[in-house]
Amino acid sequence: MNNDKFALPIQWNDIEDIALELYEKFGDDFNEQKIYRIRFTELIEWVLELPNFAGTREQCTEGHLEQIQSAWVYEWRDNQ
């Protein structure tokens, strides 16, 4: 995970950055099927807890969450 205090803040539109952070946090604990079964309520919480994440719950849309799931799956696949 990026714990660099000089790293730029991450926002909801930074889909690939969020997916990479989630993959680094959870690794292979979540495969493709498990990623797509994550409840959006859980996913929002996980994203909000990421270091350098500066977005708010109110800025989040269902579209953001769907894109994050897809990007996370691609990140997982790239590391298999």
Please report, for the chain, the start and end positions of each structural domain, with discontinuous segments joined by +. 15-78
Whether residue 60 contacts residue 12, with contact meaning beta carbons closer than 8 Å, is answered with: yes
The residue ranges of the chain whose pLDDT is under 70 are: 1-5
pLDDT at 43: 98
Q: How many residues does the chain have?
A: 80
pLDDT at 64: 98
Instruction: Write down the pTM of the prediction.
Output: 0.90
Q: Is 72 exposed, middle or buried (0-12, 13-18, 19+ CB in 10 A)?
A: buried
pLDDT at 7: 78
Our CA dihedral for 66, 30, 39, 8, rounded to 10 degrees, sits at -60
